[in-house]
A and B are shown apart, each in its own frame.
Chain A
Amino acid sequence: KAGVTQTPRYLIKTRGQQVTLSCSPISGHRSVSWYQQTPGQGLQFLFEYFSETQRNKGNFPGRFSGRQFSNSRSEMNVSTLELGDSALYLCASRETMNTEAFFGQGTRLTVV
């Protein structure tokens, strides 16, 4: 089985712009979670989707949003980018919400 695929791998954006990141989970997995990793804050949970519905949400501002499609692929969007949004964004795939999570390679976002 193919692993979790995140695109793009690298992205450079300017402050004030918006960005959309994509995640394709492992085939058959219906849960997709997003995490932000920064040197200062470590790994922080953004949100989780299961069967196209957001099930959990972390403590991030409303500029961070996401969605999940019927094929379980997920996108996350960050609007009005700030320098502090520069991070590695990791997507995790689970078969159900009660099973182990497998991570993608991440998308490295740099905001300048």
Chain B
Amino acid sequence: GEDVEQSLFLSVREGDSSVINCTYTDSSSTYLYWYKQEPGAGLQLLTYIFSNMDMKQDQRLTVLLNKKDKHLSLRIADTQTGDSAIYFCAEREAGNMLTFGGGTRLMVKP
């Protein structure tokens, strides 16, 4: 199958911006997603971007897509302690199933 890769860990101070990066390999991916998982919980859909877009902004969240480099990033502005969680990027493959990265654990220090 195709691989989606993310860095394991990110630590930021409250109020700073966080940038979580993701690379994918399936050039036929139509949609790319960001999910958030808090301890003991399921996955919460944060935002998504269609593959023909470069950027999408939704309140504190900004998604950037570089299709040439197959690079996706999620920027969280004014990061809060409540943003501490694991963030997963996922690509929708041709068969419509989602392939997930390994997740990036975001720790926000007060």
Contact = CB atoms under 8 A, between A and B. Distances in A.
Interface of A: 4, 6, 33, 35, 42-43, 45, 48, 55-56, 58-59, 90, 92, 97-98, 100-106
A61 B45 CA distance: 29
Contacts of A35: 98, 100
B40 to A, nearest CB: 8
A92 B98 CA distance: 10
B42 A90 contact: yes
Chain A interface mostly helix, strand, loop or mixed? strand
Closest A-B pairs by Cβ, 6 of them: A43-B100, A103-B43, A103-B42, A105-B42, A45-B97, A97-B96
Interface string B68-104: 0000000000000000000010100001111111110
Contacts of B45: 100-103
B97 A33 contact: yes
B48 A103 contact: no
Contacts of B98: 33, 35, 43, 45, 92, 101
Interface residues of B, number: 21
25 contacts: A33-B97, A35-B98, A35-B100, A42-B101, A42-B103, A43-B98, A43-B100, A55-B96, A56-B96, A90-B42, A90-B43, A92-B98, A97-B96, A98-B96, A100-B31, A100-B33, A100-B48, A101-B45, A101-B98, A103-B35, A103-B42, A103-B43, A103-B45, A104-B42, A105-B41
B7 interface: no
Interface of B: 1, 31, 33, 35, 41-45, 48, 88, 90, 95-103
Contacts of B43: 90, 92, 103
Given A42-B102, A42-B103, A100-B33, A48 B42 contact: no
Nearest to B33: A100
Given A4-B42, A101-B98, A105-B42, 20 more contacts: A33-B98, A35-B100, A42-B100, A42-B102, A42-B103, A43-B98, A48-B96, A48-B97, A56-B95, A90-B43, A98-B96, A100-B33, A100-B48, A101-B33, A101-B45, A103-B35, A103-B43, A103-B44, A103-B45, A105-B41
